Amino acid sequence: MKKLALTFCLLFVFENPLQVFALQNVPILIYHSIDEFTGHGSKELYVTPENFEKQMTYLKEHGYTLLTFERWQEMKRVRKPIFITFDDGYKNNLNAFAIFQKLETKSFKPAGTIFVISDFIGRSNRLSKTEIKKMADSGLISIQSHTATHPDLTITENLTYELKDSKEKLQRITGKPIIALAYPYGNTDEQVIRETKKYYTYGLTTIPGLYSNTGIKNELYLLPRTYIKYSTTLDEFVKLIETN
């Protein structure tokens, strides 16, 4: 009886690989500022460099593969895939970049995606063109779009500027394709998705949860993300990313 059950399971795997993959749950994490909180802005949108390093060290020590959206298809092949994303393009994301460099080894290559607001580049608390180019060239950081001015896309009157111009500006800076968009505030609707499809392959929300390939309509433009906050303990972090 056990042999029969095992045979059935193996046949299911080989004859229905897409169904098996559909059961895979992949965390896509969202960060903002990687810095000490000094009283400016929302405290929960900060993660201290110390805590961020502990979280990334956990991923390293427990066999996770950190992916970017250029490597989306690798989810099917790697062990324990996970995406690390940062919204807004704050200058303090350089702290995350430094931690990635510190943790990199021959067997572990950290990777993350920074979604940059293109018109804010170069402001005092935002990444400069030079910093963006340096990170993009490192192979550790993928630069992608968070629109031009960070409006609510469901009510803005200039979707073309927010989507197309942002993409083109970032491509000129990085010299690399811009293929993913993080919707400001996580807001999107059918019209926004239609426009996003013209310029991007992926659209990211702030809907909490793990990504699973279920085949729903516009699935790649409704990607969920899980917030990692100032108050998130390492134990809570582990619970958020565990997929089994």
List, in sequence order, every residue forming a beta bridge with 203; answer none if it has no partner.
181
Give the pLDDT band (50/70/90) at residue 244.
Answer: low
Q: Which residue has the higher pLDDT, 178 or 23?
A: 178
- Between CA 119 and CA 189 the distance in angstroms is 23
pTM of the predicted protein model: 0.90
What does the pLDDT look like over 135-184, one tens digit per residue? 999 999 999 999 999 999 999 999 999 999 999 999 999 999 999 999 99
Q: Which pLDDT value is given to residue 24?
A: 84
The pLDDT score that the predictor gives to residue 1 is 43
Phi, psi dihedrals of residue 148, rounded to the nearest 5° = -85, -40
CA 46, CA 57: separation in Å to the nearest integer?
18
pLDDT grade for 242, boundaries at 50, 70 and 90: confident
Q: What's the confidence (pLDDT) of residue 154?
A: 98
pLDDT value of residue 23: 59
pLDDT score, position 13? 40
pLDDT of residue 9 exceeding 70 = no
Specify the residue for token string 């779009």: 145
Higher-confidence residue of 2 and 110: namely 110
Domain 26-241 CATH class label: alpha beta
Spatial CA neighbour of 126 closest among 167, 98, 156, 86: 86
Write down the mean pLDDT value for the chain: 92
In angstroms, the CA 173 to CA 133 distance is 6
The three-state DSSP-derived secondary structure of 205-222 is: CCCCCCEECCCCCCHHHC
Tens of pLDDT, residue by residue over 61-96, are 999 999 999 999 999 999 999 999 999 999 999 999
Token representation of residue 10? 């193996």
| Mean pLDDT (whole number) for 32-46 | 96
The DSSP letter of residue 161 is: I
Cα gap 221→203, rounded to integer Å: 4
pLDDT level of residue 209 (50, 70, 90 thresholds): very high
Distance in angstroms between the alpha carbons of the first and the last residue of the chain: 26
Which pLDDT does position 7 carry in this prediction? 40
